[in-house]
């Protein structure tokens, strides 16, 4: 039977052979080889080739009418090639070539421990293949439901008064094994679930030691018939999540990864004391203290504001927290479809897979509001240009030669006709930043391109300006940057 962790096996949910045999409409009968729930299928393939080896990916039920037997190849050599290719089972169709399954083929399958099914004349290979795919689709749906329910239960566990033991208990229950949190020195800090054989426990601790010195790593192994996995928690402090299970189901890695993210958040800062300092800083801000006074409690003097947009569905709290962990900051705000993260300036943000980022200049706490605006505009430009990450440009320009108060006064005067209509000013700003592109502006603002055209036409009328004139555009851009 192929190992689901083997990269040669197709990435599809396995179907127990017993489930296929239970289909009364197919009337399949197993006549040789091992049976039981441990025999699984990853697909179905029909072939009359004398050597099917080059055409198998591994894990398939190979269907044949035996047109090549016994003339082209001996049954033992034929079965050995199927096993070498990773085939999971062989289905032999009765009629039109053979009235019964050749005894030599039965013996060969028994000798090579390959399950052999007899397919009756009224059952087509297409019906068998369709049944396999239907069972796989059901298995996939069930696995997705299992992973989703596990994620919800893990998130709920993380909110309990004893979050770390609660997360470990939920993880152990969901994967049917043992979950262990190892400390920086390699010792067990907490554990939950069924203890595994002593050899497997030692191997899990050794595996945790392999990844313990890294901020983000995963390793897997097998010992004493037990599947092992170790996840370095992204805290940089050496904490590791270890998981030992008697079997490895497709969704186990996804479930354990969610638990690792939650444990990273729960263990990362509380043990260093900065978690309490951050809470103190946030309380002081809420009570009216200026940002510059609480900044030292947060551990940095200059910061980037990052706005992130997911490539897929709107993010949840777990996804937002995972993004913060990837950027190296727990200061995360989930606001609708956008996640905002406050990142220390010494940690250069990079776009993780599946996210589009807009990054502000590095600023002092007093300039956080302005940096928030910079990040929002950078994100809009990144989405419009389909770029993974866009940074706010902060290099000196000719406009900086004008005293700020004079520049602001000029901007207020020039833009006074549209100043009371934020939709117009923001559309004009975005349109100018994207060189007058209607489509990119529409993407950046999440509106229809006709709406963009109408707003720009309205701006031109109110400002009494020719927006096709590059000098006019330059002056308006200068003004928009000062308000």
pLDDT greater at residue 483 or residue 108: 108
pTM recorded for the entire structure: 0.48
DSSP calls for 352-413: -TTEEEEEPPPB-GGGHHHHHHHHHHHHHHHHHHT-SEEEPP----GGGGS-HHHHHHHHHH
* pLDDT in the model for residue 9: 46
Q: For residues 20 and 130, state if they share a domain.
A: yes
Is 40 in the same domain as 105?
yes
Does 314 lie in the same domain as 413? no
What average pLDDT does the structure give for the chain?
83
What separation in angstroms does the CA of 286 have from each of 181, 282, 283, 290, 291? 35, 6, 5, 10, 10
Are residues 463 and 381 part of one domain? Answer: no
DSSP assignments along 213-260, one per residue: TSSS-EEEEEETTEEEEEEE-TTSS--EEEEEESS--TTHHHHHHHHH
Q: Is the pLDDT of residue 7 over 50?
A: no
The answer to whether residues 54 and 123 belong to one domain is yes
Let me know: does 442 contact 452? Beta carbons within 8 Å.
yes
Long-range CB pairs of 446-451 (<8 Å, 24+ gap) are: none
- Is residue 238 one of the residues assigned to a domain? yes
- Return d(Cα 142, Cα 139) in angstroms, integer: 5
* pLDDT band, very low/low/confident/very high, at 394 (cuts 50, 70, 90): low
Taking the C-alpha atoms of residue 332 and residue 321, their distance in angstroms, rounded to an integer, is 7
Helix (H, G, I), strand (E, B) or coil at 333: strand
Please say whether the beta carbons of 365 and 303 come within 8 A. Answer: yes
Indicate whether 254 and 327 sit together in one domain.
Answer: no
Query: Within this chain, do residues 376 and 450 fall inside the same structural domain, yes or no?
Result: no
In this structure, are 167 and 102 located in the same domain? no
CA distance 483 to 473: 16
Strand order in the sheet with 89-93: 29-32, 116-119, 89-93, 60-64, 43-46
Do 123 and 164 lie in one domain? The reply is no
Between 214 and 460, residue with greater pLDDT: 460
* Region of poorest pLDDT, from 49-53, 210-214, 359-363: 210-214
Point out the least confidently predicted range of 7-16, 41-50, 326-335: 7-16
Q: What's the per-residue H, E or C state across 261-296?
A: HHHHHHHCCCCCCHHHHHHHHHHHHHCCCCHHHHHH
- Residue 210: pLDDT band with limits 50, 70, 90: confident
Span 137-177, pLDDT tens digits: 888 888 888 888 888 888 888 877 677 888 999 999 999 99
pLDDT value, residue 173 = 93
Let me know if residue 73 belongs to a domain.
Answer: yes
Name the DSSP class of 170.
H
Residue 212 pLDDT class (50, 70, 90 cuts): confident
Same domain, 100 and 205: no
How many domains, the chain? 4
% pLDDT > 70, the chain: 86
With a cut of 60, say whether residue 207 has pLDDT above it: yes
**pLDDT at position 398:** 55
**Gap between the Cα atoms of 281 and 299, Å rounded:** 10
Are 392 and 386 in contact by the 8 Å Cβ rule? The answer is: no
For residue 2, the model assigns a pLDDT of 41
User: Which SS3 state, helix, strand or coil, does residue 483 take?
Assistant: coil
The pLDDT score that the predictor gives to residue 178 is: 93
What are residue 15's DSSP bridge partners? 41
In a domain, 242, yes or no: yes
Is 272 part of a structural domain of the chain? no
CATH number of the domain at 189, please. 3.30.450.30
Which range among 187-191, 263-267, 321-325, 337-341 shows the weakest confidence by mean pLDDT? 321-325
Question: Is 12 or 80 the better-scoring residue by pLDDT?
Answer: 80
Where among 368, 391, 414 does a domain terminate?
391
CA distance 303 to 368: 8
Mean pLDDT, rounded, for 310-321: 73
Measured distance CA(322)–CA(260) in Å, rounded: 10
Final residue in a domain of this structure, among 369, 391, 413:
391
Q: What is the CATH number of the domain that holds 456?
A: 1.10.10.2840
Residue ranges making up the domain that contains 175: 159-267
Q: What is the pLDDT of residues 82-118, one digit of tens each?
A: 999 999 999 999 988 899 999 999 999 999 999 999 9
Q: Which of 336, 367, 391 is the last residue of a domain?
A: 391
State the CATH number of the domain containing residue 48: 3.40.1390.20
Q: Answer yes or no: is 5 within a domain.
A: no
Q: Which pLDDT does position 8 carry in this prediction?
A: 45
Residue 433 vs residue 82, higher pLDDT: 82
pLDDT exceeds 70 at position 300? no
Letter string b/e over residues 417-439, b meaning 16 or more CB atoms within 10 A of that residue's CB: ebeeeeebbbbbbbbbbbeebbe
Here the contacts of 156-159 (C-beta below 8 Å, separation 24 or greater) are: 157/262, 158/262, 158/265, 158/266
In which band, very low, low, confident or very high, does the pLDDT at 37 lie, cut at 50, 70 and 90? confident
Is residue 274 one of the residues assigned to a domain? no
* Nearest by Cα to 375 from 363, 357, 402, 395: 357
- Shared domain check, 258 and 191: yes
Within-domain flag for 65: yes
What does the pLDDT read at residue 6?
Answer: 46
Q: Does position 313 have pLDDT exceeding 60, yes or no? A: yes
* Res 38: pLDDT: 82
Quick one: pLDDT band at residue 286, thresholds 50, 70, 90? low
Confirm whether 284 is domain-assigned. Answer: no
d(CA 342, CA 340): 7
Residue from 128, 174, 135 nearest 154 by CA? 174
- pLDDT tens across 230-260, in order? 998 865 667 889 999 988 887 888 899 888 8
The pLDDT of 73-82, averaged and rounded, is 90
Co-location of 387 and 426 in the same domain: no
Tell me the per-residue pLDDT of 467-477, one tens digit each, with 9 for 90 and over.
Answer: 888 888 888 88
């Amino acid at each position: 039977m192929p190992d689901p962790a083997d990269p040669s096996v197709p990435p599809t949910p396995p179907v127990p052979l017993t489930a296929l045999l239970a289909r009364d409409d197919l009337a399949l009968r197993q006549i040789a080889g091992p049976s039981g729930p441990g025999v699984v299928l990853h697909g179905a393939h029909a072939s009359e080739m004398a050597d099917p080896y080059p055409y198998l990916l591994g894990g398939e039920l190979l269907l044949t009418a035996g047109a090549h037997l016994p003339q082209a190849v001996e049954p033992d050599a034929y079965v050995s090639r199927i096993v070498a290719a990773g085939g999971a089972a062989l289905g032999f169709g009765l009629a039109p070539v053979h009235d019964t399954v050749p005894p030599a083929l039965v013996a060969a399958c028994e000798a090579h421990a390959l399950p052999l099914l007899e397919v009756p004349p009224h059952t087509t290979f297409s019906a068998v293949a369709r049944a396999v795919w239907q069972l796989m689709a059901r298995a996939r749906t069930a696995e997705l439901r299992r992973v989703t329910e596990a994620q919800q239960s893990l998130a709920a566990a993380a909110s309990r008064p004893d979050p770390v033991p609660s997360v470990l208990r939920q993880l152990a229950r969901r994967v049917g094994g043992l979950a262990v949190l190892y400390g920086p020195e390699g010792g067990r800090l907490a554990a939950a679930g069924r203890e595994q054989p002593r050899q497997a426990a030692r191997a899990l601790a050794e595996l945790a030691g392999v990844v313990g010195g890294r901020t983000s790593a995963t390793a897997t192994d097998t010992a004493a018939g037990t599947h092992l996995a170790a996840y370095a928690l992204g805290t940089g402090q050496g904490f590791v999540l270890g998981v030992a299970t008697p079997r490895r189901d497709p969704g186990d890695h996804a479930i354990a990864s969610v638990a690792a993210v939650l444990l990273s958040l729960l263990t990362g800062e509380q043990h260093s004391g900065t978690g309490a300092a951050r809470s103190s800083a946030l309380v002081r801000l809420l009570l009216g203290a200026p940002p510059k006074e609480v900044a030292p409690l947060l551990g940095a003097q200059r910061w980037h504001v990052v706005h992130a947009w997911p490539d897929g569905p709107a993010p949840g709290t777990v996804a937002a927290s995972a993004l913060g962990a990837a950027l190296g900051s727990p200061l995360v705000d989930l606001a609708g479809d956008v996640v905002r993260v406050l990142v220390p300036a010494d940690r250069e943000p990079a776009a993780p897979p599946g996210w589009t980022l807009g990054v502000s200049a590095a600023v002092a706490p007093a300039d956080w509001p302005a940096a928030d605006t910079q990040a929002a505009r950078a994100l809009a430009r990144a989405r419009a240009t389909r770029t993974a990450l866009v940074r706010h440009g902060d290099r000196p320009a000719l406009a900086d030669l004008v005293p700020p108060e004079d520049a602001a006064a000029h901007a207020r005067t020039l833009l006074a006709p549209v100043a009371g209509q934020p939709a117009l000013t923001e559309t004009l700003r975005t349109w100018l930043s994207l060189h007058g592109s209607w489509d990119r502006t529409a993407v950046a603002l999440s509106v229809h391109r006709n709406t963009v055209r109408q707003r720009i036409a309205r701006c031109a009328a109110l400002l009494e300006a020719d927006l096709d004139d590059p000098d006019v555009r330059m002056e308006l851009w200068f003004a928009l940057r000062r308000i």
